[in-house]
Amino acid sequence: MSELIPSSLPLRNDLVGEEPYGAPQLDVPVCLNVNENPYEPTLSVVDEITRDVRSIVPTLNRYPDREHIALREAFCKYLERESGVTLEVEQVWGANGSNEIMLQLFQAFGGPGRKALGAAPTYSMYPEYARDTFTGWATVQRNSDFSLDLEGLLTAMERERPSIVLLTSPNNPTGTILPMDQLEKVLQASQHIGVEGAGPHVHPVVVVDEAYIEFRNLGTPTALDLLGSYSNLAVSRTMSKAFAFAGARVGYVAADRGIIDCLRIVRMPYHLSAITQATALAAFKHTDEQLGQVNHLREVREETAEWLRLQTWHGKPLQVAASQSNFLLFGGSFEDRDRIFEELLKRGVLIRVVGPEGWMRVCMGKDEEMARFRKTLAEVLAKLE
Ligand code: PMP
């Protein structure tokens, strides 16, 4: 791709040689590589969306509601139902995927001379939001079971004085959840830590990316519970994963209204199209159906983890990270994971080479896809060993 960019173009120096982010989009029978919900919308959802979008098409000469109030009300209603937390419309904000939410957070709270701090391995887009907003990106390494090294993070907060602390729960690509007591410790510390280059009364924003949170084990609390206690907490969510709506591109964030007002400064005017808003609102009328397979996918994750642990590589069981999401990071000792990836792909199964050396990630598909994944992986491991 990049060799097609003429060197005469004044591309920013720090972007020269960079590649666009993204997993391969290949037409293969079993796609388990981008953590989607494999279940397509039911016919009643398809009809509802089609009707509602049809009804707003005659108004497309006008700009959409810039503040997307009806949709923000729907986010509140959803969050109340999903996590039992009551929020005001001023405390939620939507964008084109949680990718755009994150970018807006970096635009508002990052910038030259500022730093964001995360816990690696983690979602590989974070350094890109940092790059694109001229924000520094620092990480602390997770423990060997991919849980958060809390002491390490607190020390790094003191050292780096970041303006953004970015934690992911469940984390991608490991699936590990952030325990609430650890989050509270980070939030408490953030009240006493300054931000590099800012006045003494300025403290980091703590962002919790909960893109996969609906897949957590039942009864597990979420960071939303702490919103009432910490005005510097922002919790990012998305319709792309459990809600099975990745193609519509809708993400959102819940936070103190002060944080939302900061995001309103950096957002593009009319960033959420009328079609996006109508589509998301129509889908929220069918929340039960959209979430209909989440419990099943959680069970599939548990079964698949158990099955993976019974597989061996060079005589040793595969390792599987403890996941509360819709994907599993597995392996741990694959010395040539690209080869395994290629052999799976040749047989029509697409997974992801991501995370630390030796590991691979697979997301949960439909039952027949998972059956094919198991059969194919067993075959490939037996062949390559
Ligand atoms: N956060 C995490 C941790 C993710 O894995 C992803 C997507 N892979 C996103 C955010 C962005 O998702 P979307 O923009 O579709 O909401």
Over residues 169-220, the pLDDT tens digits come to 999 999 999 999 999 999 999 999 999 989 889 999 999 999 999 999 999 9
- Residues above pLDDT 90, as percent of the chain: 95
pLDDT(1) > 70? no
Co-location of 165 and 266 in the same domain: yes
Co-location of 82 and 218 in the same domain: yes
Tens digits of residue pLDDT in 226-252: 999 999 999 999 999 999 999 999 999
How, if at all, do strands 136-141 and 115-120 pair?
A: parallel
pLDDT of residue 2: 63
Co-location of 286 and 296 in the same domain: no
In this prediction, residue 133 has a pLDDT band, given cuts at 50, 70 and 90, of very high
Distance 200 CA to ligand 1 centre (A): 33
CB of 172 shorter than 6 A to ligand 1: yes
How, if at all, do strands 30-31 and 349-350 pair?
A: parallel
Contacts of 273 (CB under 8 A, 6+ apart): 64
Co-location of 194 and 93 in the same domain: yes
Co-location of 83 and 105 in the same domain: yes
Distance 252 CA to ligand 1 centre (A): 11
Helix, strand, coil share (%) of the chain residues, nearest 5: 40, 15, 45
Q: From 290, 324, 339, give the residue that closes a domain.
A: 290
Its pTM stands at 0.97
Q: From 290, 307, 329, give the residue that closes a domain.
A: 290
Picking from 217, 224, 240, the residue whose alpha carbon sits closest to that of residue 83 is 224
pLDDT of residue 156: 98
Co-location of 379 and 368 in the same domain: yes
Co-location of 192 and 272 in the same domain: yes
Picking from 21, 206, 209, 208, the residue whose alpha carbon sits closest to that of residue 127 is 21
- Enclosing domain of residue 15: 2-40+292-384
Report the residue among 96, 101, 125 best suited for mutation to probe ligand 1: largest number of ligand atoms under 8 A from its CB. 125
Distance 297 CA to ligand 1 centre (A): 18
Tens digits of residue pLDDT in 343-355: 999 999 999 999 9
Report the residue among 33, 34, 93, 98 best suited for mutation to probe ligand 1: largest number of ligand atoms under 8 A from its CB. 98
Q: What number does the ligand 1 atom closest to the CA of 100 have?
A: 14
CB of 240 shorter than 6 A to ligand 1: yes
Contacts of 62 (CB under 8 A, 6+ apart): 274
By alpha-carbon position, which residue is closest to atom 6 of ligand 1? 211
Picking from 15, 20, 40, the residue whose alpha carbon sits closest to that of residue 283 is 40
DSSP letter for each residue of 136-192:
EEEEEEPPTTS---HHHHHHHHHHH--SEEEEESS-TTT-----HHHHHHHHHHHTT
CB of 176 shorter than 6 A to ligand 1: no
Mean pLDDT of the chain: 97
CB of 23 shorter than 6 A to ligand 1: no
The torsion of the CA quartet 244, 108, 270, 234, rounded to 10 degrees, works out to 40
Co-location of 123 and 179 in the same domain: yes
Cα 238 from Cα 323, distance rounded (Å) = 18
Distance 40 CA to ligand 1 centre (A): 18
Distance 175 CA to ligand 1 centre (A): 13
Q: From 225, 260, 290, give the residue that closes a domain.
A: 290
Cα 154 from Cα 143, distance rounded (Å) = 14
Distance 98 CA to ligand 1 centre (A): 6
Please state the domain count of the chain.
2
Distance 317 CA to ligand 1 centre (A): 30
